[in-house]
Structures are given as structure tokens and as C-alpha cells.
Amino acid sequence: MPRISLALAAALAAALTAQPGQAGAQTPAFPSRDVTFIVPWNPGGSNDVMARQLQPLLKEQGIGIIIENIVGANGAIGLRRVAGADPDGYTLGMGTSSTLAAIAQGKAQLKNEQFAHLVRVSTDPLLLEVPGKSPHQPLDAFLANMKKNPGKVSIGTPGTYNVNHIFAAMTARAAGVGYVNVPYTGGSKVIADLLGGHLEAGVLKPSESIGQIQEGLVKPIGVFADKRLEQFPDIPTFKEKGYDVFPYGPVVQMAYVVGPAGLPPAIRERITAAFRKAIQDPRFKTFAKENSFLVDDLTGDALTKEVEAVTASLREVGTQVFKDQQ
């Protein structure tokens, strides 16, 4: 009997130890499987390209990511999936200023508080681009054409009520006329219609159009920034041409990694460290320079403050720019 009792006691102790959440339970180290990384934009767009550039670098850090493109509503559809995921680190996503603009203007059923802001991937300038064979270039010629055809010139943007849309509207204001805004679910769609002759211009990042620019298929004619880009030294800024595209305050286009709110600190630190190392890798920095976007080392609370500041700025600018479209 004593031997039987000892055996039963040992078995019971082992069973209790194996129960999840009990003292002494062994939880697998993160990650024990691949992480789903949601890019809420079309394949081939800048955010998708950046994620795929980071993919092998993260693998070297022991984190495998499976990229899933879930498009729509300025990124809000894909990021709703992130916000509603279990906070276990296995569902992450790419936040952008475009989605922040939608949040700021009440166009998305999301709040910044639903996310853990982990690390910034990029800060991007934006360009006004036309088909390579467009007769309406350089910038002065394009604006002159808008003046001659008020309310008829089309400008494509990846989404509506976002930074791209803001700059499309400011282009029309520079010409002093209306225009036709044509929204898409990603930059690659804008490029396709530029190449097909279905658009007269588009507002795009260099990183999502660099191949077509290098081949002469599309032509940047204006930079929405205070100074020219190193990659495109011959392309003037709107500012130097005498057009103020920031009359209501600065706006910035950026991309950053998010997870659902409530990520455990250890998992959050593991993810942040891996992405930081990948983003600071010389290979990714070379890719950034080639595609004219900037990388820094903004993470954690500092990134959260930046997200809040950008949201506030986009709310103010959007209210002014789109007040006639509400």
C-alpha cells in the first residue's frame, strides 16, 4: 500500500506540474513557430517590399515571418485583424501614416490604444509622378495643364483621406483648380494605371516606383518635402517652385511594426530586438538608400509618442484639406 500511494502521489504531482498556468509549468520559448505578419496593402507596394526585404534578416534572428496581404480601408481591415489577435506575438502587422490618417479623421473603426507600437521601419518622402511619355512635364507644365483643364486632371493615390490624398489635394491647390482623385488599395495599382495611360499623375513613394522610374516608364516631377532627395537631385521640391504643400502643419509618411495591445514584456522585447537588428543591418540600410527612404531607431514609448503626434497633425491637416469633402 505505501508503494502504491507513493506512485499515485508522484503521478498526481506530475500531472499538476504539466497543467498550463500552474507553478512549474514549462512554456515554449518565443517563437516556437512562424509569425504571421500582416501587410494591409497590395503585394508589390512599398510596405510589402520592405517586409519581404526584412524577412530573411529576421530569419537570421530566429524569427520566421509569413507575410499576408490583407487590403482595404487604408490598411484598417488588415490592422483590425492584428488588433483582435491574441497578444502572444504570433500576429504582427505594418502600421502606416495612411491608416493613422483614417483613424484621425474617424474613417476607421480603430484606435491607437489597440496596438503595441514596436519599431519604426521607415520614413518616406512622396513624389508626384507622371507617365514617362507624358507631355505635361516638368512640374510647371503639369500645373499649367491642370489650370487649362479644371476639375478634369486625374491623380491616383493609394487610398483616400491619407497623406497621399492630402498631397494630391495640395497639388490641385497649387494649380488653383479642382481635380479627379482616384483612390486605389495600394501603390502598385497606381503604377499599373499610370503605365496603362489611365491616370495623368500619381502620388507615390520612391520605394514603390523606383524600378519604373529607372526604366523611364514613370517620371517624378515634384517632391513633397523641404529639400531635394539625394536619389533624385534633378527633381525640384514644390517649395522651391513657390508652392506651400504644408500650409496647415507638417505631415510625415511612415511605416512601423505593431502587435495587439497587451503583448507580454518578454515577447515584446524579443520582437523589438529582432526587428531593430534587421532594420539597422547594413543590407537593409543599403536597400533604404537605394529606394530613398529613411531609417532610424525609434521604438517603444518613443514610437508611441510619435504615433500620437502624427495622428494629431493628420487630424488637423485633414480637417483643413478635406473640409469641403466631409
Tens-digit pLDDT profile for residues 140-162: 999 999 999 999 999 999 988 88
Closest CA to 58 of 89, 34, 28, 42: 34
Closest CA to 169 of 252, 241, 245, 72: 245
pLDDT the model gives residue 16: 43
Q: What is the pLDDT of residue 258?
A: 98
3-state SS assignment for residue 206? helix
Please, which residues have CB within 8 angstroms of residue 71's CB and are 6 or more apart in sequence? Answer: 40, 41, 42, 77, 78, 185, 186
CA distance 7 to 251: 69
9/62 Cα distance (integer angstroms): 40
pLDDT digits (tens, 9 = 90+) for 59-103: 999 999 999 999 998 899 999 999 999 999 999 999 999 899 999
**Residue of 275, 268, 293, 260 whose CA lies nearest to 120:** 275
Q: pTM for the whole thing?
A: 0.82
What domains does the chain contain, in order, with CATH numbers?
35-124+251-321 (3.40.190.150), 127-223 (3.40.190.10)
Where the chain has pLDDT below 70, the residues are 1-27, 324-326
DSSP string over 6-43: HHHHHHHHHHHHHSTTSTTPPPPPSPSSPEEEEE-S-T
Task: Report the 10 Å Cβ neighbour count for 132.
Answer: 15
> What CA–CA distances, in Å, run from 265 to 222, 262, 300?
44, 9, 11
